[in-house]
Chains A and B, each alone.
Chain A
Amino acid sequence: QKEVEQDPGPLSVPEGAIVSLNCTYSNSAFQYFMWYRQYSRKGPELLMYTYSSGNKEDGRFTAQVDKSSKYISLFIRDSQPSDSATYLCAMSATGANSKLTFGKGITLSVRP
């Protein structure tokens, strides 16, 4: 089993739809959970992060972590064409030298 598994894509939705992106993981040491967004031909940029379990909301984006199920989600409300990008989940354990483990990424397209 891979350490981090991400739902395969691509995903295409109409503008205004609610989007749910998901990842599962197997390493119980992971404590930091992140979502990176990557526009075409650009480097990834941090979108949201959560420490341990719980929810975090930032505008139209909500990140959820369920450590008991080893499952994380990113919800996008009222999706916009500008949300079209590849979304990568990433995780790390605690410790200054901890490294990020990335999912494979899912490409989202929001149709006007």
Chain B
Amino acid sequence: NAGVTQTPKFRILKIGQSMTLQCTQDMNHNYMYWYRQDPGMGLKLIYYSVGAGITDKGEVPNGYNVSRSTTEDFPLRLELAAPSQTSVYFCASRNGQGSHYEQYFGPGTRLTVT
């Protein structure tokens, strides 16, 4: 099992550009999450999904969009990138039963918007 994979690892965007951060998990997890991590600020939830076709906003959704057409994939779309979106983005997933507290994280995407 590869677990949770994210691409790209690094990206530099110019202000106003758009991009999609990819996230795939091979553990057949129902729940998937996108977080952003800024230095010294912990993890902030952007969007989450409880299953294919179902998504909902987290704490900091503005400037982002998501879709969940399959169980495995949960892409995060940035439209009109702004410097405030410079951050490290983590995708995570978890099983829908039992140990709901254990989220498995991907390695992250480091995004710089200049």
Contacts and interface: CB of A to CB of B under 8 A. Distances in A.
Interface stretch (A53-61, A76-84, A96-104): A96-104
A100 to B, nearest CB: 7
Residue from B90, B97, B105 with most neighbouring chain A CB atoms (10 Å): B105
A32 interface: yes
A97 B50 contact: yes
Q: Is the interface of B mostly helix, strand, loop or mixed?
A: loop
A25 interface: no
Contact of A92 (B33, B101, B104, B107): B101
User: Sorted from nearest, which 4 A-B pairs have the closest CB atoms?
Assistant: A43-B105, A104-B42, A102-B42, A102-B43
B86 interface: no
14 contacts: A32-B100, A41-B107, A42-B108, A43-B92, A44-B105, A45-B104, A49-B101, A49-B102, A88-B42, A92-B100, A96-B100, A99-B58, A100-B101, A104-B41
B42 A42 contact: no
A32 B42 contact: no
Interface of A: 4, 6, 32, 34, 41-46, 49, 88, 90, 92, 96-100, 102-105
Interface string B21-38: 000000000000100000
Nearest to A88: B42
B48 interface: yes
A89 B75 CA distance: 26
Contact of B103 (A6, A97, A100, A105): A100
B45 A105 contact: no
Nearest to B45: A99
B57 to A, nearest CB: 11
